[in-house]
Structure formats: C-alpha cells, structure tokens
Structure 1
Amino acid sequence: MKIAVVGVGYVGLVSGVCLAEVGHEVICVDLDAAKIEQLNQNNVPIYEPGLSAMVATNRAAGNLHFTTNLAQALLGADAAFIAVGTPSREGDGHADLSYVYAAAQNIAEHASGPLVIINKSTVPVGTGDKVQEIAETSRPDMDFHIVSNPEFLREGAAIKDFMEPDRIVIGVESDQAKSIMAEIYAPFEQKGFPTLYVNRRTSELTKYAANSFLALKLAYINEVAELCEVVGADIKGVSKGIGLDPRIGEKFLNAGPGYGGSCFPKDTLALVRTAQDHDRPLRLIEMIVSINEYRKRAMSRKIAQMCEDEVNGKTIAILGLTFKPNTDDMREAPAISIIQGLQDMGANIRAYDPKGMDNAKHHLSNITYCDSALSCVENTDALVIVTEWDEFRDLPFAELKKKMRKPVLVDLRNLYDGKTPKAHGFDYQCVGRPLETVINDV
C-alpha cells in the first residue's frame, strides 16, 4: 500500500520506517525542511537504537521517502497517518491539539482521492470526531474515514515494540476503514500479534488509560520505597515479592527518582483534565501527578542530606540526564528538577550523559558538561546516578575516588548492592533500601 505519514518526529519516523520495513511504500512529510534534508542523507535527527540502519536500508530499497511536499505524498495514497506532537497546553495542562487539527486540514485539502486518515498521535477522547468534521467541512466532495491507532512505543526499544507489538489497537467507525487497516497491519496479524478493533473513542481512551496505569505503578512503588527506608525493609525484595504475582507483574516496579519523558507526564495530566471536563474526576490520577512532581524535587534534598545538608558552594557530579537510557530525550526528565533543586541550594553541577547532553543544553543552564564519567567527577563533593545507562553499572570506583574531593555516591537507580562502593570507601545511599540492608545484601 502507499502510505503517507505526516509529522516526522519520534512517533512518525519510527512508524514510517517500520511500515516501510514490512513492504509498504511510505512517504514521510514534515514542514521542517532541514530535518527532511538530513533524512534524505540518511542522517537521523533522534537517537533510537537501530533506526539509522533501517532508514538507510529502506531508502535504498525504494520503500521509504522523505519530503516537505504534502500533495506529492498524498498522490495515490491509500492512507495518511497523523503523527504530530500533542504537548501539554500551557496554562491548563490540556493536550494541545492545534498540530493535529492543522494536519487534518492540510491532508483534506491536498487529498487526491478517498482516504483513510489515521490518528497516531496521542489525543483525548473525541478528537477523531473533530478531525472528521474538519476533513468533511474542508472537502465535502471527498470520502474520508477517520481512524484512531495509538502507538505504544517505548523510547530505546521502539523498533522492537512496533515490529513485535504486544497489541495493536485500532478504533474504526466503518467497514471501509477496517478493511484498509487490516491490509496495513496484515504482516503483523499473519505473525500472530493480537489486533483489537474497537470504536474510535474506546481506542483514544485506551492509550491514556494504559499510560496512566503504568505511571500509577511507578508512583506507587516510589511511595513504598519511602516507607521502606524508615521501617528497615528493602524495596528490591518488596518489588520482587509483589511483582511475581501475575495479577501485578514485575514491570514498572523499580523505585527511582520519578517518571519523566514525552508520554507519562503529559498523558496523565491530559487524562485528568478530560475527566474534570466531563465531571468525572479521576482522583487517583490527580494524586499520581502530584506525587511524581514532589518526588523529582525531593531527590535534590536527598542528595543534600548526603552532603551534610549543605551543598552551597559544593560541586555535584550528575551521571545521566535523559529520562531513561537508550534515548536522547530530555522531556520532563527527573534530572532537570534534581539539578535545578541543587542549583537553587547553591551547588555547582558537572554532568555527563552518553547521548543527551546536546538536548540537555536546551533545558538546563550553568552546567559543566563532561565527556566521560571519570572527567565528570573531577574535584566533586558527591556523585549522583540519575539515569541507568549500562555504562554506569560498572564504574571504576578506585579511580573515581582519587578524582573526587569527597567519596559520596547517591544511587537513585539502585544499580549497586552497596558492597562495592563501600569497599572502596564511598559513603553510599540508594532508594528504598536501609544502609544495613544495602551493605549486608542477601
């Protein structure tokens, strides 16, 4: 099939490349000419493992194209995906749908024939109805079918998530739309990956409900971690003990400095606002949003405690800036709140991240960026692990100690059992694990 993808951000690029990989002819469209120029030279503007190679392979095979010309992309197309951003609207937290509506308008105006318009962006319930209205008002002579097809991609594992999905959710309102969607996803259904056809509003709500539930698990385990620290329990054991229950599951039960990223913060807030607008407030989700914001800021105070409650004038080394490993995404990263909190207390910050430092410069200022973990700790008073990159799991503590003014390690991701840093003379603290538990790990 010929498919247009409008919006070449994270979701649009990964989706377009993967659809080309399974044999569709895909044309990705974006207003950003510089980005399109990059992609036409096989230079991928985001970091996602395996994506660059797939772009080059599919461009060489003739399955994948990039352009700023929407009319060209839609010429003879069977379907058009909307994959533009839906950030939180400034002021009230609602999803900003202006990009979605603009994309729908432009697609309708440039459509060359009957078209299935598929919303891949994360949008509140009822957005598909508005997209239908926009398309039909713009081109009453044209036959449009609007579909909701939310993405469930994890940054750092997006290609695997698309190519081997745990489910494909499709919201349709017509047999014609269902037929087109079945053809698009036939390569996946043939491999046995489950496809769920529902109505459009159900599909739209499913995305928000899924992300909010995962955020709930993270907020919950972080709350339990706080209790563990004062009652002498070990959050790792608690997480494993409850996660082995198949009704709960082991994923998203790792205590840490709070969740961030492009999805959970904005999606939980958007769901809260949607529920409030319909006079059905989701008190649990409202509390999750509050807990997480408090959690991120509280981590700076935890670090200060390890520095004898005085960080003014001290230098802190931060390892990991992105909200998770294997991405360069800094959106709502816990590191932002942590670093700003430390700076508010007068600390100087040195930082290192394998992929995120260029993006971090757009969110943080007055930081010394370093090219390695070793250079980062030079003449510092404490070392803090914020993001669990693999290279931070085997740090050379003997060398680190020689470079630091004070051997203090705050492990906000529980990467270590405590024995190794303590053996090298480090004062060590992690999350949800009393010191005696950490040192005498069983």
Structure 2
Amino acid sequence: MAVRELRARVLGDGLTAIAVATGLAWSGLRVSCARPDPAVSASEPRLQELARSLRRSGALSFGELADPDAVFVCGADEVTAPPGGSVINCALPPWECTRDLQAALGRPVVSHPQLLREGSALEDFLSADYAVLGADDAEALVRADVVLAGVPVPPLHCDLDSADLVLHATNGLLEVEREYFHELAELCRAVGADVARVIECVRADPRIGADTERRGDSPRRGPATRLREDRPPPVLAELETL
C-alpha cells in the first residue's frame, strides 16, 4: 500500500517563510505557502531558482493545501491549524513566545526558532549545525521530528521555554561580539597596531583557530574554518573586513 507523502503549510510571507517552505519541499514534503514578495525572492537568487523548480514539480505551491500534517508559523498574524496535525512555531514576531501561540490555539505547539540571514537563508535552514526543537508535549515533539526527518540537520531537543530563548540568546551574543570587534578595531588604530595581523595571531591560538573540532569520530567545523566560509555570520564577516 502506498504511503501518503507528508504535507506542510507554511504561514507567513517574509524571507523566513519562503526559505522554510522551499527547504521543506526540497526535503521531500509537499508544501504550500503564501506567494512571497518579489523583493524577497530577488534578494535570494538560489532560493528563487529552487522554488521555481519545486513549483514545476508540484512539491511547492502557493495557496492552501488540504489536510497538512504540519503547519509552520513564520511570522503570520493569523494562525489557523486543522486538528490532528503538528503546529511548529519559528518564533518570529508576533509569536516570539510559543506559549502565547499555544494558549491562542488551545493545543500543543513546538518551538523551532529560526535565525536566517538575508542572502543565505536557504543554506542556513538546510546546513545548520543543529536545529532546536522545544516542546512540553512529548508526542508533539515526536511528530515534529517525523515531519523534519528529511531536513539534513540534526535536532537538538529541549523544553519549550528554553527553545524560545535561543533566538534572544543568540542575538545577544552576536551584539556583544559585534561591539567587541568594533572596540578591538578602535584599540588597534589607537595604538598603531595592524588589525589584520592581530586577527591572524588570534587565529593562531588553537583554542580559537583550530580547523576542526572532533565529537566522537566526526570532525566538525572549528572557528577558523567558519571564519573562512564564503558566507560567515555577520559578526565574523565584520571581523574579516576590519
């Protein structure tokens, strides 16, 4: 007997919504989402190209999709979800607090925070080191795992409130680092130091510049490797150009 393909509906019309919808469709789900703003698509050529290909294949569609197995909330003001399916919140305004969305819907909701960068949103979704999934309901968490099984990113499970805090913690750390690097540049200029050489010496420290980290038998990207990426996080991009 044939197994019905999993279906997902993505609510929202911004960059995160179209990147999540496209990534889910690429991973094997049949997905529907709102038609994105042309300006959003234009800023992401690879995303735009893949979305067109997935639309031609029927894996991605704009509009409604009947009986979705999961509804992903990516910044939508109005949220409706059919009974029986999973509700997965990407923790964007106006639903940064998944408990608020859970209370509004009267059902368990899984927190799956997303911090996707303009210019590499699709890659961020499909190539992250891990994906945070938080819930207080074990069954809801298992259903979310099933829906996201095709996305090649290992899940990191936690409770609902901890998952919601991830975005705030990450943004806070990035802001602290950004301020640090600005101050470092000012200090170098004040004392006549060569910023590029200072950075090179910092990289030479094995605690910071090791090319790989090992977890068991699996090599992972170290800080120096991440600094050399074509699309490093914004803070590291600033460090490269100081």
Query: TM class by shorter-chain length?
Result: 0.7 to 0.9
Q: How far is 1:126 from its partner? A: 7.6
Q: 1:180 aligns with which of 138, 143, 153?
A: 143
Matches within 5 A, 1:55-134: 55-67=51-63, 72-73=64-65, 75-84=66-75, 102-104=77-79, 107=80, 111-122=81-92, 127-134=97-104
8 Å contact from structure 1 (residues 128, 148) kept in 2: yes
Matches within 5 A, 1:358-397: none
Which has the higher Rg, Structure 1 or Structure 2?
Answer: 1
8 Å contact from structure 2 (residues 91, 97) kept in 1: no
Query: Which position in structure 1 is the counterpart of 2:215?
Result: none
Q: How far is 1:246 from its partner? A: 5.2
8 Å contact from structure 1 (residues 44, 52) kept in 2: no
If the length of structure 2 is used for normalisation, what is the TM-score? 0.78
In structure 2, what is the Cα distance between the partners aligned to 1:175 and 1:212? 29
Give me the identity figure in percent.
Answer: 28
Letter of the 1:11 partner, please give it. Answer: T
- Of structures 1 and 2, the one scoring higher in RCO (CA 8 A, sep 6+) is 2
SS in 1 for 2:109: strand
Letter of the 2:49 partner, please give it. Answer: A
In structure 2, what is the Cα distance between the partners aligned to 1:226 and 1:183? 49
Seen in structure 2, the aligned counterparts of structure 1 residues 201 and 123 have a Cα distance that, compared at 3 Å, is farther
Matches within 5 A, 1:43-442: 45-67=41-63, 72-73=64-65, 75-84=66-75, 102-104=77-79, 107=80, 111-122=81-92, 127-136=97-106, 144-188=107-151, 193-245=153-205, 247-248=207-208, 249-250=223-224, 414=241
Q: How far is 1:244 from its partner? A: 4.0
In structure 2, what is the Cα distance between the partners aligned to 1:154 and 1:252? 16
8 Å contact from structure 2 (residues 34, 62) kept in 1: yes
Seen in structure 2, the aligned counterparts of structure 1 residues 103 and 114 have a Cα distance that, compared at 3 Å, is same
Gaps of 5+ in 1: 85-99, 137-143, 254-258, 265-323, 325-387, 389-412, 415-430, 432-442
Query: Which position in structure 2 is the counterpart of 1:28?
Result: 33
In structure 2, what is the Cα distance between the partners aligned to 1:247 and 1:204? 30
Seen in structure 2, the aligned counterparts of structure 1 residues 246 and 119 have a Cα distance that, compared at 3 Å, is farther
8 Å contact from structure 1 (residues 173, 200) kept in 2: yes
Count of matched residue pairs: 217
RMSD: 3.1
Seen in structure 2, the aligned counterparts of structure 1 residues 244 and 196 have a Cα distance that, compared at 3 Å, is farther
SS in 2 for 1:187: coil
